[in-house]
Amino acid sequence: MSGIKLKDFLEYQFLSKLQLSPDGEKAAFVVSKQDEKANDYLADIYLADLPGSSIKQLTHTGKEHDFVWDGNDTLLFASRRCEEDEPQRFYQKTCFYRLPLSGGEAQRAFEVPYDVKAIRPCGDGVHYAMAVRIDHSKLDPHTHSEEECEDAEDYILLEEMPFATNGEGYTSRVRMALALYDATTGSTRLLTEPLFMLGTFEWAGREIVYTGHAYTKVRQKTGGLYAYDVATQKTRTLVEDGKLALYHIGVLGEQVAFTASDLARYGSASGQDFYTVPLAGGTAQKVLDYELVPGTSPITDSTYGGGRVFVCAQNRIHYTVLDRFCSHICTRDASGALCDDFEFNGGIQMLDTCAGITVFVGMAVNGLQELYLLKDGRAVCISRFNSPLLARRTIQPVHYEPFENRAGQQIDGWVLQPAGYVPGKKYPGILEIHGGPKAAYGEVFFHEMQVLAAQGYFVFFCNPRGSDARGAAFADVRGKYGTIDYEDLMDFTDHILARYPDIDTSRVGVTGGSYGGIMTNWIIGHTHRFAAAVSCRSVANFVSDFGQSEISYNDDLAPNSAPWQAPDLLWKESPIAYLKDCATPTLLMHSTDDHTCCVEQTKEIFTALTLLGVPTRACLFKGENHELSRSGKPRHRVRRLKELVQWMAEWLQADASSAPADKADT
């Protein structure tokens, strides 16, 4: 059998939006597939009958990316199935369909005059809570002519920070609002003030509880928790805005459970503590100091779409979490006490639980996504979406290779050996660096790495200081970029080269994206040990990056680090400052619509390397954003990986005896 081929990922099936029916007897979920010809993703809803674990496809249009249960035997979803469902130019409209599981076609249920991003039935068959996207910078087509609306589209007004959002473009004065649809009148009301940004929301029996933050100029990381009473049409504040950054919420009887952080000590490296507050009102109580981050899992390039990761059911809190490099489903009561801890050898992307039934979507070691039923403390795989394809391929196993860093901490690392590995034969190697930095590798399937291993490379990767799943202190590298993280990466490389003498030290490459791209840029300016580099969606200059991206103005690279406060620190941590002696052939890749790490950063480093005479090439992807390698258009994802593979082959597969000797770290 052959190893993983570059275009195999076009056949992968991605699972998302997993939800149990209210009685827990059925699980519905979305399966997405890539269509290379259409250069898009097709998505349909599937159903698993849990007593028999049989699975069937419910929709076949390729247009259903989300849904909710509307009772035990009906699904409700947004779709555009006919011309009538399309909104007129400059107007907004979302059409919903109901699909009875008893049989028959989906029937048009209702429409709302907004762009709906999420919906929750309120349980009475009448009211539906919604998150709707509203662009307050647009002219109202009800009060302005089509010509005026068209003319206004030629201008972009920046009136607040952030003024852009990755995946959405320029978003100054764009808000997510909470709305309520009434089926008896067919009307939809907005429940939040115009400049309020909705976070998340849940139905709480008679009220809608939700998080969010109102702002006019600068969006803060903190938010408030609120409850809207559908009967009285009044809103109450449960947690005041300005004190906590709020993340997940759920309802435990007469209490609201939520995770939050005051960000005081570790900023964005903080964990998420557990709180409860009475639904009737009162003081929020912290019930658990928590160093980890609920909802996390090992990073991979082989998922698409998300799902629930924090669920309150049976008077318990159930959530997924990454601890070191294994996924867990943890269960806690309202006091924060741990009731159950299920460890899964791999990654869990989402879960749901109801009526004593728990299901999740996970990736076992060396496997792609499948649907699992948690039964008697063990995971039972009940689907075969991706296993037939993998059965036709040789998957390179992950070898755990930890080492002790200079601080005496064990750093988790791994190696994939090249396909057909013959001991005693020399092979090139590639160091992969994850993004974040607060993210973490695990032992899950990673398409890019499997492709490289299949083409004859040792591939090695680790979780250096700054990574997730080890607590806030471990993750905190604010003001330390290029120091302790760089140490760990270089020491890990030394460790692997010593453990695997068949890696040709003159043919070792390095690659990474986002923070991994930043570190790749840093590495080529501090050592000549790598014969090739591929830097993706990176930052080169933290001085010029300030104010460009959606995160640069409050990314707490270091406390009080605006250019007028700490220009020397920003420059000190900028990779471009150290490129004078760079000699590493470097490929740069970036998306033109990336608002997390802006494309101008790649232009800067490309210019620098070109003027310095370093072999370099930049490939920019039109219309793509920061998520290119994970959810970009299929043909663009193919081209990106081809560029990487070809660059590494050019510089690592050929004789590299003329590569420059290593220089001392600086």
Separation between Cα atoms, residue 108 and residue 94, nearest integer Å: 11
Helix (H, G, I), strand (E, B) or coil at 489: helix
Q: How many CA atoms lie within 13 A of 256 on its CB side?
A: 33
CA 120 vs. chain centroid, Å, equals 23
Q: Confirm if 580 and 548 have CB atoms less than 8 A apart.
A: no
User: Structure tokens of 285?
Assistant: 């109580």
Is 273:257 a contact under the CB 8 Å cutoff? no
Alpha helices of 356-423 — where are they, by DSSP H? 387-391
| Spatial distance between the Cα atoms of 635 and 306, rounded to a whole number of angstroms | 22
Distance CA 450, CA 458 (A): 10
Domains of the chain: total: 1
Tell me if 376 is assigned to some domain. no
374 assigned to some structural domain: no
CA 314 to CA 250: how far, in whole Å?
12
Residue 492 lies in domain: 401-653
- Give the pLDDT confidence score for residue 659 in this predicted structure: 37
Give Cα 660 distance to the centre of its chain.
38
- Please answer whether residues 42 and 64 qualify as being in contact, where contact means their C-beta atoms are separated by less than 8 angstroms: no
Q: Is position 243 within any domain? A: no
- Spell out the residues 6+ positions from residue 602 whose beta carbon is closer than 8 angstroms to its own: 535, 537, 538, 540, 588, 589, 590, 618, 620
Residue at token pair 């559908």: 230
- What is the side-by-side strand order in the sheet with 174-182? 115-121, 127-135, 174-182, 187-190
In-domain check, residue 636: yes
Which helix (DSSP H) or strand (DSSP E) does residue 247 occupy?
A: strand 234-252
Per-residue HEC secondary structure of 29-74 comes to EEEEEEECCCCEEEEEEEEEECCCCEEEECCCCCECCCCEECCCCE
Q: Is residue 46 part of a domain?
A: no
| Contact assessment for residue 272 and residue 247, using Cβ atoms and an 8 Å cutoff | yes
598 within some domain: yes
Query: What is the CATH classification number for the domain harbouring 529?
Result: 3.40.50.1820
DSSP state at residue 305:
S
The residues, any chain, with a CB within 8 Å of residue 659's CB and separated by 6 or more, are 506, 507, 528, 531
Burial of 280 (0-12, 13-18, 19+ CB in 10 A): exposed
| Mean pLDDT per 10-residue interval, the chain, length 666 residues | 94 98 96 97 96 89 96 96 92 96 93 97 94 95 94 94 94 97 96 97 95 95 96 96 96 96 93 97 96 97 97 96 97 96 96 95 96 93 96 96 97 97 97 96 97 98 97 94 97 98 98 97 98 97 92 78 90 96 97 95 97 98 95 97 98 59 37
- Separation between Cα atoms, residue 411 and residue 413, nearest integer Å: 6
Mapped onto helix, strand or coil, the DSSP state of residue 599 is: helix
- Within-domain flag for 645: yes
Which residues sit opposite 29 in a β-bridge?
46
Question: What are the φ/ψ torsions at residue 547 (nearest 5 degrees)?
Answer: 85, -10
Please work out, in degrees rounded to the nearest 5, the angle formed at the alpha carbon of residue 499 by the alpha carbons of 651 and 299.
Answer: 70
**Cα–Cα dist 571/565, whole Å:** 12
Residue 413 backbone dihedrals phi, psi, to 5 degrees: -145, 165
Burial tier of 652 (Cβ tally within 10 Å: 0-12, 13-18, 19+): buried
Q: Which residue, 241, 245, 238, is CA-closest to 209? A: 238
**Cα maximum dimension of the chain:** 78
Instruction: Decide: residue 507, CB within 10 A, 0-12 exposed, 13-18 middle, 19+ buried.
Output: buried
3-state secondary structure of 536: strand
The answer as to whether 163 is a domain residue is no
Residue 539 and residue 516: Cα distance in Å, rounded?
10
Contacts of 34 (CB under 8 A, 6+ apart): 9, 10, 12, 40, 41, 42, 634
Is residue 366 within 8 Å of residue 398, measured between CB atoms?
A: yes
Tokens of 539: 């930052």
Q: What is the CA radius of gyration of the chain?
A: 25
Cβ burial 288-326 (10 Å sphere, 16+ → b, else e): bebbbbbbbbbbbbbbbbebbbbbbbeebbbbbbbbbbb
Query: Is there a contact between 457 and 537 (Cβ–Cβ < 8 Å)?
Result: no
Tokens linked to 314: 């049976």
DSSP string for 208-239: EEEEEEE-SSB--S-EEEEEEETTTTEEEEEE
What is the number of alpha carbons within 13 Å of residue 344 lying toward its C-beta? 32
- Give the model's pLDDT for residue 597: 94
Q: d(Cα 162, Cα 551) in Å, to the nearest integer? A: 8
